Chain A
């Protein structure tokens, strides 16, 4: 069984540019989560999809972040425009029943 995959693994962009991160959950997992770890800080929840619906987006930092999950399969997280403080590692996770999480390898985002 393939695990959670994320693309790209690394992204380096200039401040003000746009970046789109992609997450492919484990097939059949209705729950998809985005988390972020900013340098030196703890891993923080961003949002939770159940199928294509946003169940909880209380962790999204501001309206520069847009997450979508069209069709209830893969998800994208767009940051537009990117700021320096957006640098960090973005993790995606999926689960079938909502408790145990399978995490992807993360996307390391560097905003210069």
Chain B
């Protein structure tokens, strides 16, 4: 198993609905980040949550972190067709590994107009 594992692998919803993606990891982390990748494009950083934080918001994004369960979730509210992309969680262990991200396999989100 990988450090970051995400579910579901694919999610298909209608515009206006909410999308929730989950990420689990195995070791203690310094921070966890979520990225989006549109087809054929680079990774876009969405949000970072530190290990001492439980919830963060950014626009229509809400991220939670449960360090006791080693899991995080990304909620996109009122989804739009433009949100169609792959979403990845990435963990940063800190310490001597600071800045070295470990990614999950990602969730492919499709938002139908």
Contacts and interface: CB of A to CB of B under 8 A. Distances in A.
Interface of A: 3-4, 31, 33, 35, 41-45, 48, 56, 59, 91, 93, 95, 98-106
Interface string B12-46: 00000000000000000001010100001111110
Contacts of A99: 31, 48, 92, 98-99
Interface string B53-92: 0000000000000000000000000000000000010101
B107 to A, nearest CB: 12
B101 interface: yes
B42 to A, nearest CB: 4
Contacts of A59: 100
B42 A100 contact: no
A41 B99 CA distance: 21
A42 B105 contact: yes
B52 interface: no
B6 to A, nearest CB: 9
Contacts of A98: 98-99
A45 B102 contact: yes
A3 B42 CA distance: 11
B99 A48 contact: yes
A77 B103 CA distance: 21
A48 B100 contact: yes
B101 A45 contact: yes
A6 to B, nearest CB: 8
A106 B103 CA distance: 16
A57 to B, nearest CB: 11
A56 B105 CA distance: 23
B35 A103 contact: yes
Contacts of B100: 33, 45, 48, 56, 59
